């Protein structure tokens, strides 16, 4: 498993959420977005939008499986 702690530079609007999900879906590994009390599938547009990412929010991107390191790095850059 590979994980990366990120801090959102801005509010995650629908456009950015869609880009995040499209990027996540390029990888075969399982990817989740996590905070202290929430977890969602990073490949689900509804999950990412409902996650409510706001500027300054800290979250963890976790990936497990094929190309997990590349997935975490690519998704981390979007924050």
- pLDDT, tens digit (0-9, with 9 covering 90-100), for 34-54: 988 899 999 999 999 998 889
List Cβ neighbours of 13 (8 Å cut-off, separation of 6 or more).
none
Q: Domains in the chain, start-ordered, CATH in brackets?
A: 2-78 (3.30.1340.10)
The pLDDT score that the predictor gives to residue 55 is: 92
The pLDDT score that the predictor gives to residue 71 is: 98
Positions in the chain short of pLDDT 70? none
Strand, coil or helix: 57:
coil
Strand, coil or helix: 49:
helix
Q: Which residue has the tokens 């706001």?
A: 54
Number of Cα atoms under 13 Å in the Cβ half of residue 48 = 27
């Amino acid at each position: 498993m590979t994980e990366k702690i990120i801090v959102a530079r801005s509010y995650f609007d629908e456009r950015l959420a869609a880009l995040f999900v499209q990027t996540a879906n390029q990888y075969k590994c399982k990817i989740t977005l996590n905070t202290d009390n929430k977890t969602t599938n990073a490949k689900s547009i509804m999950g990412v939008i409902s996650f409510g990412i706001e500027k300054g929010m800290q979250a963890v991107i976790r990936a497990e499986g094929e190309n997990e390191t590349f997935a975490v790095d690519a998704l981390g850059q979007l924050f």
